[in-house]
Amino acid sequence: MTKQTARRRVVTNMSLSLDGRYAAPDDPQDMRWVMPYAHTDVARDHLTGLREPATTALLGRVNAEGFLGFWPTVLDTEGADPRDVGFARWLVDTEKVVLSSTLHEAPWERTTIVDGPTAEVVADLRSAEGGDILVLSSASVIKALLAADLVDRLALTVFPVVLGGGPRLFDDGLPTGRWTLASQAAGEHGTVAVVYDRAR
């Protein structure tokens, strides 16, 4: 008799401003508005809770370049917070899948470059054994997964900043559906971390 395994969850994580933006209007790559809040206990504990059950990181090219350019350097940073070191070690060691039509060779270890529709890539990942598939702040990937109703767990960190413009995570026309609150935490500087599970 074949053993049945639970379907791998697709978990998405994104930082948002109070007005629902994930990037500033003038420079989408400028994340200085996030930095005062990313180093809070709430934000660090939130990320730790997401990465512990995950065995695959799924990223878009831009975020892969940012994450994989920065986080490995944390391993050599004296006095770094143990939660930051834990995340950096996980990111270096885990399987990484980068969605890109422009990259042809992975400049990072344990990384596969895939040029294909997001939904198909996720279907392939789900068919393999493993833990959660964690999508790390890659807006284009998360938007595609939300549009296809493929997100099982939606994790958000909300920072007390109004950007007044810029791209939104939740576009009009998304599939309707209910979500249940899995966890919530609030902490210093008004940072709030919430996790919702898709009710199917």
pLDDT, tens digit (0-9, with 9 covering 90-100), for 50-82: 999 999 999 999 989 988 989 999 999 999 999
* Model pLDDT for residues 8-42, shown as the tens digit of each residue: 999 999 999 999 999 999 888 888 899 888 889 99
What does the pLDDT read at residue 107? 85
Q: Are 160 and 191 in contact (CB under 8 A)?
A: yes
Per the prediction, the chain carries an average pLDDT of 93
Number of domains observed in the structure of the chain: 1
In this structure, is residue 27 part of a structural domain?
Answer: yes
What does the pLDDT read at residue 39? 87
Q: Are 31 and 69 in contact (CB under 8 A)?
A: no
In this structure, is residue 5 part of a structural domain?
Answer: no
| Residue 42: CATH number of its domain | 3.40.430.10
Work out the pLDDT band at 104, boundaries 50, 70, 90: confident
What does the pLDDT read at residue 38? 87
pTM score: 0.92
The whole domain housing 28 covers 10-199
User: Residue 153 and residue 149: Cα distance in Å, rounded?
Assistant: 11
Q: Are 125 and 58 in contact (CB under 8 A)?
A: yes
In this structure, is residue 1 part of a structural domain?
Answer: no
CA angle 105, 92, 84 (to 5 degrees): 140
User: Residue 154 and residue 194: Cα distance in Å, rounded?
Assistant: 8
User: Residue 160 and residue 162: Cα distance in Å, rounded?
Assistant: 7
Helix (H, G, I), strand (E, B) or coil at 26: coil
**Structure tokens of 168?**
């939104």
